[in-house]
Structure 1
Amino acid sequence: MFNRGPVSVQNAGPSAAGLPRFMTAAPGQAASGLGPDAREATQLAILFIEDSLADFTLMRAVLVDAGLNVSAQCVDTETTMRQALAERAWDAIISDHSLPTFSGLRALKVAKEVGFRGPFLIVSGAIGEETAVEAMRAGADDYVMKNNLRRLPPALERGLREVQTRDQRQRAETALASAHDQLNAVFSATPVALFAISRERTVTMWSPACEDLTGLGSTDTLSRSFALPSQPDTWKLLTLIAPALDGTEVRGLPFSIETKGENRELLVSASPLSGSPPSGCVVALSDVTHLAHAQAELSRSESQLRELSRHTERVRENERAELAREIHDDLGALVTRIRADLALARRRSREKETAQLLDEAEQMVASLGEAISRIARAMRPPVLDFGIVAAIEWQARDFAQHTGITVNVHTNQDDLALELEQSIAVFRIFQEALTNVFKHAQATRVDVDLFADDSTLSLEVRDNGIGLSSDSLRKRTSFGLRGMMERVHGLGGWMDIGGSPQTGTPPFRGTTLMISIPLNPPTLSLPGGKSPHHEPEDQE
């Protein structure tokens, strides 16, 4: 036994440049699993609690002989031990069991108080089994008898490995706890109803939003077989998420559930958990009830608007027909009588100049009669009474005569009987299509295909003009196309128009307009105006 201050000793020979790794690394990080060369280069900072300088020198020599690069300091009192622990970080502590004013168990307690995390080994010349067990229970990593110091190096390295493993496990547990807390926070904060389910259909997580949606709390669901208040809803939802339990993600499947006396519209998504096959899946239930209600209300509004548009068109066509009849019958008859009177006055006139003036007036009245007839035909073409095929062919000839643009009509029907509303709508659409060709296309030729079978009528109008740009299709003032679309939708059909703008010299690809209407349309137009074809923005 001896009294002295702290004794510091390092291995002979040059030290590695910079700070020793154990000054910054976790205890035991470098020595674990190292070969002889690596252990020689890795310096271990070891604090010895020992009152015998000879024993300290011997233990250090044993470690050096085992190939360990040791930086050692020896203390023999609690005060000097606390001072050494405060001055630097240590990789390990090796303590004598019994000292004159100190003990190994007390040193172990001090090490714990200051937060030492490395291995703590006890060496003793004579230690009983009960004392050794007490030291191990108190937290010592191992004990070595002084008469068997060859066990010291492997015991130290084993302790360093165990500390490293313990630290890694603690870090993993901390990270897992943090991830679990974050997941719980996400589950609690998200407005989307989330729950997790195992392959055995056991609920493992249940968010507050799920409780709000279903009325089932976590105590009713966790660690129990998945079940909704309604058994049919349970089986339907399990069927929807079944692919996720087999490893395939599920995205946005519609699902409705009746809960709290209200029908809720949901979108179901599910992601498989890890494993092959997956250990389970996480399910998200997005409540889109308000969106479904809004969509239904929008569809009803669109349907009502189209019904109003159809009614307005019917009233307008009826007014046109009535006005055309009045113009033809009243004004036409009046013009005819005026012509007759002028002709009679001309024949009875004895003055040449008066007769000439009467003749000119008769010719002007004749022109007025022709204009009246033309206006009446435009307002309500009488040819519609002979069927839509005849009306299309008449309009094509009239357009070609007045514009010089060639129009070819092809049809598989010589006579096609449609309802009056259908005939008028198709005829007006054809009129507007030809008007657009004349105003915008710069075309020299138009081909028209009119085909019908037992259930559908289709009309296609193609020109060889300059085509349409996307800006033209998006014009908000394109009331011509808007009117055509409304007419087609009102009949339960669809319309498509396309044509890329071309530059350079002819021939061009032009524009193609297609419409299709059912010959036995439903009473109401299609909800929301949906059609299987893309509908462009309107063009005038």
Structure 2
Amino acid sequence: MQQLARPTAIQLLHLEDSTLDHDIVRQALRRAGLVCELTRVESLDGFVRALSREHYDAVLADYRLPGFTALDAWQAMQGIPALHWTPPFILLSGAIGETAAVNAIQLGMSDYLLKDDLGKLAHVIQRAMEVRQAQRERELAVEELAASEQRLARFAEHLQSSIEQERAAIAREIHDDIGGSLAAIQFDLSWISRHHSDPETLTHVQAATDMLRHAIGASQRIMMNLRPAILDQGLHAAIDWLAREFERRTGIRTTLRAILHDPDVRRDLQLTAYRTAQEALTNISKHARCSEVHIELSDAEGVLTLEIADNGQGIAAEEREKPRSFGLKGLQERARTVGGWLDISSRTGAGTSITLSIPLSPQSNPGLVEEA
């Protein structure tokens, strides 16, 4: 017949200066049927050495020992470099008042028990181990969540950077290939208009020239959206161009108030602010149903601040929480990649305000870098 596996013995470290009390604790645990190995230490140095060398499932500690107390042992345990997992710490003493016991629990110790109540010790140990295991699982879950958020943030940063590089590459192709072809067509149309006087031909040439002019304007506008070369003139000029183009295209009155003391804002911060304004204005044109937009740009108190506010219908809370509502979520992630944050304030029927804030102090992570 197959033999049943013996339960694994619980490893207990007993901080106790009395051999008699140690033997009494051992007998109490044996009577309770707790399968364990009980190791005794009586000095603070021995306690630290034991925890540094071996793994223990729980610690039992007398409160008063020669030259130190269980509080000193608790403090020493927190500073052991080799101790990656802190075992539950149970006070087991006959010389501790209620106040001292409560203070010990508030410090983080698992439980306390009087020596004349050892019948409950096995239950107290098992309960403390279960609670500590649950705490450990929560700690691991929090650590994994934080690591997952960091991985997601790095992925979002990489994605944004890749998008900017791809936009720059497409803009260059439009400029070099399509722009060159449109310029050649314009040259040929000019040649035809100079060498033909037939009215019908000139009418077609004029129509083609008008369409060509529209195509050139469209290609320039697309290139500007893909790669904002106007940022070379500074963030103020770029946001001003966005505002004027938005007003011309939509007919919505748009005002810009800018106070920038430092024109040499890092390129990645300028790009983040530009893309935020671009996306915000795009959302306004699609959804806000407003008549006015106000934009404020400043670098007061070492923080680059961009606020875009409209007097439209606002954004309902359920609309902002939609799973596929990526526009504003994308702006929040973009702000986070450069150490900033995005605040959205909106009330139904009272408009929406989007505020980007980015500290201007040097960052260890340069964030998004647009390919030249």
1:248 is matched with none
1:263 equivalent in alignment to 2:84:
yes
C-alpha displacement of 1:358 = 2.8
Q: 2:323 aligns with which of 476, 479, 484?
A: 476
C-alpha displacement of 1:213 = 4.5
Counterparts in 2 of 1:414 and 1:322: CA distance versus 1, 3 Å? farther
1:41 is matched with none
C-alpha displacement of 1:525 = 9.3
Greater C-alpha radius of gyration: 1
1:495 is matched with 342
2:216 is matched with 369
C-alpha displacement of 1:403 = 1.1
**1:325-344 map, 5 Å:** 325-344=172-191
C-alpha displacement of 1:321 = 1.9
1:389 equivalent in alignment to 2:232:
no
Aligned residue for 2:84, secondary structure, equals strand
Is the Cα–Cα contact under 8 Å of residues 344 and 355 in structure 2 kept in the other structure?
A: yes
C-alpha displacement of 1:267 = 11
Is the Cα–Cα contact under 8 Å of residues 265 and 292 in structure 1 kept in the other structure?
A: no
Is the Cα–Cα contact under 8 Å of residues 407 and 445 in structure 1 kept in the other structure?
A: yes
1:227 is matched with 70
Counterparts in 2 of 1:355 and 1:448: CA distance versus 1, 3 Å? closer
1:519 is matched with 360
Is the Cα–Cα contact under 8 Å of residues 261 and 299 in structure 2 kept in the other structure?
A: no
Aligned residue for 1:263, secondary structure, equals coil
Counterparts in 2 of 1:394 and 1:301: CA distance versus 1, 3 Å? same
Is the Cα–Cα contact under 8 Å of residues 335 and 365 in structure 1 kept in the other structure?
A: yes
C-alpha displacement of 1:451 = 1.5
Is the Cα–Cα contact under 8 Å of residues 321 and 379 in structure 1 kept in the other structure?
A: yes
CA distance in 1, matches of 2:153, 2:277: 20
Cα-to-partner distance string for 1:259-305 (whole Å, 9 max, x where unaligned):
9x43236999xxxxxxx994742725353334333333332332232
**1:60-209 map, 5 Å:** none
1:411 equivalent in alignment to 2:258:
yes
Is the Cα–Cα contact under 8 Å of residues 314 and 421 in structure 1 kept in the other structure?
A: no
* Amino acid of the structure 2 residue aligned with 1:448: I
2:5 is matched with none
C-alpha displacement of 1:348 = 2.1
C-alpha displacement of 1:474 = 1.1
C-alpha displacement of 1:491 = 0.7
CA distance in 2, matches of 1:522, 1:415: 17
CA distance in 1, matches of 2:274, 2:101: 61
Counterparts in 2 of 1:267 and 1:320: CA distance versus 1, 3 Å? farther
1:161 is matched with none
Counterparts in 2 of 1:365 and 1:301: CA distance versus 1, 3 Å? same
C-alpha displacement of 1:487 = 0.4
Is the Cα–Cα contact under 8 Å of residues 266 and 289 in structure 1 kept in the other structure?
A: no
C-alpha displacement of 1:326 = 2.6
CA distance in 2, matches of 1:351, 1:303: 69
Higher relative contact order (CA 8 A, sep 6+): 2
* Amino acid of the structure 1 residue aligned with 2:245: D
1:356 equivalent in alignment to 2:356:
no
CA distance in 1, matches of 2:333, 2:179: 34
How many pairs does the alignment contain?
285
Aligned residue for 2:296, secondary structure, equals strand
CA distance in 2, matches of 1:266, 1:357: 88
Structure showing the higher helix proportion among its residues = 2
CA distance in 1, matches of 2:149, 2:203: 62
C-alpha displacement of 1:488 = 0.5
Aligned residue for 1:321, secondary structure, equals helix
CA distance in 1, matches of 2:346, 2:366: 28
Aligned residue for 1:262, secondary structure, equals coil
C-alpha displacement of 1:481 = 0.7
CA distance in 1, matches of 2:197, 2:281: 52
Q: Which runs of 5+ in 2 are unaligned?
A: 1-27, 33-54, 90-96, 111-130, 368-372
Is the Cα–Cα contact under 8 Å of residues 456 and 518 in structure 1 kept in the other structure?
A: yes
* Amino acid of the structure 2 residue aligned with 1:234: W
CA distance in 1, matches of 2:254, 2:157: 30
Is the Cα–Cα contact under 8 Å of residues 406 and 444 in structure 1 kept in the other structure?
A: yes
Q: Which runs of 5+ in 1 are unaligned?
A: 1-183, 189-210, 238-255, 269-275, 503-507, 527-540
